[in-house]
Structure 1
Amino acid sequence: MSDALVSPPVFAAAGAAAVALLAVSVRQIRRNSEPNAPGGHSREHIVPLMGVMGAFVFAAQMINFSIPGTGSSGHLVGGILLAAILGPWAAFLTLSSVLVIQCLLFADGGFMALGCNILNMAALSCLVAYPLLFRPLFGQGKSGGRTLLASLVACVAALELGALAVTLETEASGITALPLGRFLLFMLPIHAFIGIGEGLATAAVLYVVRRYKPELLAAAGRPRKPRPMGRALAVIAVVALAVGASFTWVASSDPDGLEWSILHTSGQEEPATGQTDGLHELAAGIQESTALMPDYDTTLAGVAGSGAILLSAFGVAYVLRLAQRKNNGKQASDRTL
């Protein structure tokens, strides 16, 4: 979503909800990564894995695939894929981080709309569609058919919920001339098609992971004997950088589902707004000052974004490791005394 769709009250409400969920996610990740936790990845693995998977999803989101016969395109959201590998709360935090980097460094999505985008894309996929639909259908992940079914159903549901949320937030904002009924008439069908594409891509990735590195799947439960993940993390990182480097040659130039829906609803690529206020101008100024590569205007944008996510994740992992060593050293000293 762009800032043109969001009013100050909706910005405040969505932002507060997003911040609250992010705080909960940090607490849940700490709890789920404890040694005796029943599922998920260990504390040693979770942050690096979040980094490489975030970089992979960032790169994959930059590749728009055409929707045949519509003149529109879609891209991977990645929430279901992330949740199947990381678990729902780590996936939510990872996808939210991707959206923040896209907003601030690449001016992709509005600054005022960031809270809405986190709720629509990260929360509805990772915290709603994944636990309610994907997880029960996926089971233990031993069947390719169940993996495909779970991926398709959950991805379509997540995209449809997100499309519905966008229309409701736009209607609640009341600053554009986009009638709710007509907007929904275009938003829901086109995002159903995008969800099918994402579901197929998600199932394909999960099939490869299940076959060659099943211990990566948080959806299948924590492995009894955790194995080293260094090689797997390196492979995912290299794939992410390769996808990011090639996005300009394989991405569709057609408008995405939201842009296409706005165009067919209003007849304009950008919705007509009924107001301009200081908050919108401030948000635009903040985004203009932080966007080093607006609109991905260089072929290095994909590599730069993926690299930024990787560096931030491994930086966090390094700090946590130092803190853990310091804590262990202090405990050993206390026992000696």
Structure 2
Amino acid sequence: MHMADALISPVVGGTMLFLSAGIGIYSVKKVEKDIEDNKIPLMGVMGAFVFAAQMINFSIPGTGSSGHIGGGLLLAILLGPYAGFLTMAAVLLIQAFFFADGGLLAYGANVFNLGFYTCFITYQLIFKKVTLKGFSRKTIYIACILSAAIGLQMGSLSVVLETVLSGKAELPFKSFLILMQPIHLAIGITEGFITAAVVSFVWNTRPELIERTTKGLSLGNISIKKVLVTLSLATLIIIGGLSWFASSNPDGLEWSIEKITGSDELETEGVVYSTMGKIQSFTSIFPDYSFKSEKKETEEELKDMIREEKLESNSETVLVAVIGGGITLFIALMTGFSINIYKRKKNKKQDI
């Protein structure tokens, strides 16, 4: 459900960027107060895991569409809502800049749609409420499925509203809404099952990690090495194994747009769009998760090349995914380390 720049106006894109940046700054301040050394590597591993998982589209039977997990709920459950939101923002930034997945103008909207609702609404009001009296396999599955499904419904509704507010007449509100909500309900339920499976594993392995994070308590000195190793191996399996079986069908957003307009992309005109396109064309060294051609394509030529040729081979996708996962791991780790270093320096000054 990554929005392209063509779906959003500069005003709406700028507003959503400002809003997401404000939530991000607030999250940094909250994380600064309780970040722990053993949570930093978990941020890195979970960032890489979500990056890999978002690459694997699963088919929605009978529709010709596909979907992938958003990952915001999973990040919130394992990291807490604030660190989860920051990790999601890092994942989406890497996807937009290096892989041309989601527009730069639409970056703030994508962060809000995929991160805010799951990390701060459904995680807080549904997942924590359902598991309030204790964890079990049953409560985990109920909480995850409800939270993921409702969170994605909110996110997909936001996409529709942001598009309508941007004045995109090609996508009438009613028609767009009727297509977006049901298909993302199916995607959300599937994400709920996947999230529950991962959370159940972590809970069985280190119940303290899930239980303390849900209550907002310190992790203390609990060892999470087994969780880190297993999730790292799972990331490699997703990249190297499941990527061969990923669906090539358009995702829910592209499918909805194509049903209405006959194409999965909208035409754009204007200095802002052309500037953003040129910047993204320059920074995206792996457009559409493939190696960029040596030929210097324009933005439109690059899109045509991706649309017509797709990937030269799936092995190329695997290699690019490994690189992307490594970049995400590094950025997420650096985010955690930077916040931790700033916290220590601030505490040191206060002690003096």
Q: So what's the TM-score if we normalise by structure 1?
A: 0.89
Change (3 A) 1:89 1:224: closer
Q: Is the contact between residue 148 and residue 191 of structure 2 (CA under 8 Å) also seen in structure 1?
A: yes
The 1:27/1:331 distance shift into structure 2, 3 A limit, reads closer
1:180 Cα deviation from its structure 2 partner? 0.5
The structure 2 residue matched to 1:90, chosen from 79, 83, 96, is 83
Alignment-derived partner of residue 2 in structure 1: 4
In structure 2, what is the equivalent of residue 309 of structure 1? 328
User: Match for 2:25 among 23, 26, 39?
Assistant: 23
With over 3 angstroms needed to count, the CA separation of the structure-2 counterparts of 1:326 and 1:152, relative to structure 1, is closer
Q: Tell me the SS of whatever aligns to 1:18.
A: helix
Displacement after TM superposition at 1:183 (Å)? 0.5
Counterparts of 1:156 and 1:8, CA distance in 2: 29
Q: Which stretch of the first structure deviates more once superposed, 233-242 or 223-232?
A: 223-232
Change (3 A) 1:112 1:324: closer
SS for the counterpart of 2:66 is strand
Aligned-partner SS, 1:44: coil
| Residues 33-83 of structure 1, C-alpha deviations (whole Å, 9 max, x = no match) | 3xxxxxxxxx21222211111111111111001111111111011111111
Q: How does 1:213-228 map to 2 (within 5 A)?
A: 213-217=206-210, 218-219=213-214, 221-222=216-217, 226-228=221-223
Gaps of 5+ in 1: 34-42
Residues 316/257 of structure 1: CA separation in 2 closer, same or farther (3 Å cut): closer
Cα deviation code 1:150-176 (max 9, x no counterpart):
111111101110110000000000134
Distance in 2 of aligned mates of 1:177 and 1:315: 41
1:133-282 alignment to 2 at 5 Å? 133-139=126-132, 141-217=134-210, 218-219=213-214, 221-222=216-217, 226-271=221-266, 273=267, 275-282=268-275
Structure 1 CA distance for aligned equivalents of residues 168 and 280 of structure 2: 21
Distance in 2 between residues matched to 1:220 and 1:200, nearest whole Å: 23
Q: CA RMSD in A?
A: 2.3
Identity across aligned pairs (percent)?
Answer: 42
Tell me, yes or no, if the aligned pair for 1:259 and 1:269 is still in contact at 8 Å.
yes
Q: In the TM superposition, what is the alpha-carbon distance from 1:313 to its structure 2 partner?
A: 3.3
**Corresponding position of 1:59:** 52
**Which range moves more in the overlay, 239-248 or 150-159?**
239-248
1:121 maps to which residue?
A: 114
Quick one: structure 1 residues 321 and 130, their matched pair in 2 at CA, closer, same or farther if it must change by over 3 Å?
A: closer
Point out 4+ residue stretches in structure 1 off by more than 3 angstroms: 220-225, 313-332
Instruction: Pick closer, same or farther for the CA change 1:250–1:324 going to 2, 3 Å.
Output: same
Shift of 1:279: 0.5
Q: TM-score, normalised by structure 2?
A: 0.85
Q: Give the secondary-structure state (helix, strand or coil) at the position aligned to 1:45.
A: coil
Question: Within 2, Cα distance between the matches of 1:14 and 1:196?
Answer: 26
Q: Distance in 2 between matches of 1:71 and 1:281?
A: 31
Paired with 1:105 and 1:12, the residues of 2 have a C-alpha distance of 21
> For the Cα contact (< 8 Å) 2:153–2:181, is it kept in 1?
yes
Aligned twin of 1:105:
98
